Amino acid sequence: MAGCNAQAETITWQTGHCYLGEILVASTQSGVCAVLPGGSRDELVTELARRFPNATLEHANNSRADWFAGVMNYLVDSRRPLAVQLDLRGTEFQCRVWRALQEIPSGSSTSYGEIAQRMGIPTASRAIAGACAANSLAVVVPCHRVLRGDGSLSGYRWGIKRKQALLSHEQGLSER
């Protein structure tokens, strides 16, 4: 897996709106590389440029693009399999953590310590939290499903209110 700044490339992006606010979805030729919730389109495009400083950013202006529609549909119902390819960008350790997060079912949660145990590195809770914070694929790599060991909410890159909204939304889906 390449690092975020590995090469100059074109990243196509589109924004939409959902219960989390404004959402930016970005894709490369390899798959979706970013799903960023925020307050405004300008804020999100600035964040995308910060995360991918060597990329050329192009606005797709096409809400029917398969990669955009696939992510937006997943935001509505995360019980269904994600119908898009992901372009995970990070260190080998971060990518291992992100793959472990994708195994947490919608409507469920776990702790940083439990993830570390499953990965065979029981003392790595803080490193797991760091990998969660570096995640650029909100919701589709579900770092929001990771809680403190006592079950309480911990930090979330996109704010505790969004983390609570995600967990509540998924819990509501699982109760249907």
Total residues found in the chain within this entry: 176
User: Which residue's structure tokens are 């994600």?
Assistant: 82
Annotated catalytic residue: which of 4, 18, 33, 143? Answer: 143
Q: How many Å apart are CA 66 and CA 47, to the nearest integer? A: 23
Inter-residue contact 110 to 157 (CB < 8 Å): no
Give the distance between the most distant pair of CA atoms in the chain. Answer: 45
Active site residue 143: yes
Q: How many Å apart are CA 75 and CA 53, to the nearest integer? A: 27
Catalytic residues: 143
